[in-house]
Amino acid sequence: MSTASPVKTTAVAAQGVWKAYGQGEAQVVALRDVSVEFASGAFTAIMGPSGSGKSTLMHCLAGLDTTDRGTVGIGDTTITGLGDKALTKLRRDKIGFIFQQFNLLPTLTAEENITLPLAIAGAKADPDWIKRIIHTLDLTDRLSHKPTELSGGQQQRVACARALASRPEVVFADEPTGNLDTRSGAEVLNFLRTSVDDFGQTIVMVTHDPNAAAYADRVVFLADGQIVEDMADPTADKVIDKMKHFEELVAAAQGENA
């Protein structure tokens, strides 16, 4: 459970979001009228079958992709309709990303990778804050190493530190443990949980893994571009049980929309 402030504000909100790719016969509707809010200081997992729209939703929420209809807000800013320049600035200042493939720059050290986004933004790193995340992630001895000299788990921990370095309004993570073994995955998930409980971070994480989802405060299930279930206080067993009955959930959602 989150121990963040009792007054919950909304960090991210989507209202009536539609998104399609391609034209005519080849068109794929990836999001169908999705409305969802993510509370500040909460850890939310997004689950659903492959192709259900999880990454698309995350990209639309993060301003990495545009919506066809509907609006997205980050904090008190409506990002829908913002120009490229304003969006780039907003992503840099308010959003942290963690990807499945780590996406570290190979020629830079771990420390340079962590502080690069701040340097690009022309922002001053808060040395105490950076030190604290590096310590929490157990990276103190690895700061001068290049990504090729780090294990997968260490690389992803560097990516976590990079995502949190600017204290963003929200961190989006797309299958952050997808390329990690169980132990390294647990380290990353424990850190994400700690960052919510101790630092009040807001996290939205896509995952296929019920055990990973159990670290979250809430799980939003997507199917066929729609939210079909919203679960509070998930456990791995609750999530697995829900996945077993997923076909019924989807049929019910489609029936409602027919």
Residues that bind ligand ATP in the complex, under the rule CB under 6 A: 21-22, 28, 30, 48, 50-56
Largest CA distance in the chain: 57
CA distance 203 to 192: 8
User: Among Mg ion, ligand ATP, none, what does residue 51 contact (CB within 5–8 Å per kind)?
Assistant: ligand ATP
52 near Mg ion, rule: CB under 5 A: no
Judged by CB under 5 A, the stretch of 49-57, 77-85, 189-197, 245-253 that binds Mg ion is 49-57
| Number of residues in the chain | 258
d(CA 176, CA 35): 24
Residues whose CB falls within 8 Å of the CB of residue 99, separated by 6 or more in sequence, listed in order? 159, 173, 174, 175, 176
Nearer to Mg ion, 55 or 226 (CB): 55
The footprint of Mg ion on residues 54-113 (CB under 5 A) is 55
Residue 60 CB, shortest distance to ligand ATP, in Å, is 9
Report DSSP letters for 133-192, one per residue: HHHHTT-GGGTT--GGGS-HHHHHHHHHHHHHTT--SEEEEESTTTTS-HHHHHHHHHHH
Residue number with CB closer to ligand ATP (61 or 110) = 61
Q: Which does 28 bind (CB under 5 to 8 A by kind): Mg ion, ligand ATP, none?
A: ligand ATP
41/53 with CB nearer ligand ATP:
53
Stretch that binds Mg ion, among 51-59, 78-86, 113-121, 248-256 (CB under 5 A): 51-59
Tokens found for residue 120:
């690009």
How many whole angstroms separate alpha carbon 223 and alpha carbon 221? 7
Residue 243 CB, nearest approach to ligand ATP (Å): 13
Tokens for 77, please give them.
């800013």
Smaller CB distance to ligand ATP: residue 51 or 70?
51
**Binding-site partner at residue 75 among ligand ATP, Mg ion, none, CB < 5 to 8 Å by type:** none
Distance of CA 248 to the CA centre of its chain: 27
52 binds, among Mg ion, ligand ATP, none (CB under 5 to 8 A by kind): ligand ATP
Distance of closest approach, residue 163 Cβ to Mg ion, in angstroms: 18
Q: Considering the complex, what minimum distance in angstroms separates the CB of residue 63 from ligand ATP?
A: 16
| Closer to Mg ion by Cβ: residue 55 or 202 | 55
- Buried (b) or exposed (e) across 130-149, using 16+ Cβ within 10 A? beebbebbebeebeebebee
> Given the complex with ligand ATP, which of 44 and 55 has the nearer CB atom?
55
CB of 122 to ligand ATP, least distance (A): 32
Helix ranges (DSSP H) in the chain? 54-61, 84-94, 110-121, 127-136, 152-164, 182-199, 210-213, 236-244, 246-257
Closer of 110 and 231 to ligand ATP (Cβ): 231
Q: State which amino acid sits at residue 141.
A: D
Which residues sit at the interface with Mg ion, rule CB under 5 A? 55
